[in-house]
Amino acid sequence: MGSSTALKELQRDLEVQANVLSKLQKEISKNHQVRKQYTIQLGENELVLKELDLLKEDANVYKLIGPVLVKQDLAEANANVRKRIEYISAELKRLDGSLQDLEDQQNSKKSAVMKIQQKIQTLQAGKAKS
């Protein structure tokens, strides 16, 4: 009965690894979502910056804070948008890094799961023969 306990152990192992794998996949899709949002924001901010750059020195710029429009200095607005772009770019880079990391982990887990499945198959084939 040695092979049957080994089989059970392998199946348990497979379940554990598959769980880890699905968790990783969930994290990857979350990463994708967050990244998408940041990319949209980055595009919007870049468009705003382009508009601000086109303005004359004495143009009136307002910022919507809650329900009120507050008049803002052009230079200040410009600096704000630039800072935001910087922050979002840095955040995107960080997300890229962690995505790479997660994908590497996913690939190694995938091959681990495949190996276990193969082991189970050979065990079952051996049992069927005997």
Partner 1 sequence: MAMRASEMEKLNVEQLKALKEQSEMEVNVLQDSLSKIKTAVTRLDIASNALLDLSLRPQGKKMLVPLTASLYVSGTLEDADRVLVDVGTGYFIEKTTAEGKDYCDRKISLLKSNYDELMEVASKRKITGDEAGAILQAKLRQSTATT
Answer yes or no whether residue 51 interacts with partner 1 by CB under 8 A.
yes
Contact between 59 and partner 1 per CB under 8 A: yes
Q: Are 68 and 81 in contact (CB under 8 A)?
A: no
CB atoms closer than 10 angstroms to residue 100: 10
CA 71, 75, 79, 85 torsion-angle sign: positive
Size of site (CB under 8 A) for partner 1: 19
Q: Is 88 in the site for partner 1 (CB under 8 A)?
A: no
47 touches partner 1 (CB under 8 A): yes
Among 1, 5, 57, 60, binds partner 1 (CB under 8 A): 60
In the three-class reduction of DSSP (H, G, I as helix; E, B as strand; rest coil), residue 68 is classed as strand
Give the separation between CA 120 and CA 113, rounded to whole angstroms.
11
77 touches partner 1 by CB under 8 A: yes
Helix and strand counts by DSSP (H, E) for the chain: 2, 2
Compute the least distance from the CB of residue 48 to partner 1, in Å. 5
Chain residues binding partner 1 by CB under 8 A are 41, 44-45, 47-48, 51-52, 55, 59-65, 69, 77, 81, 84
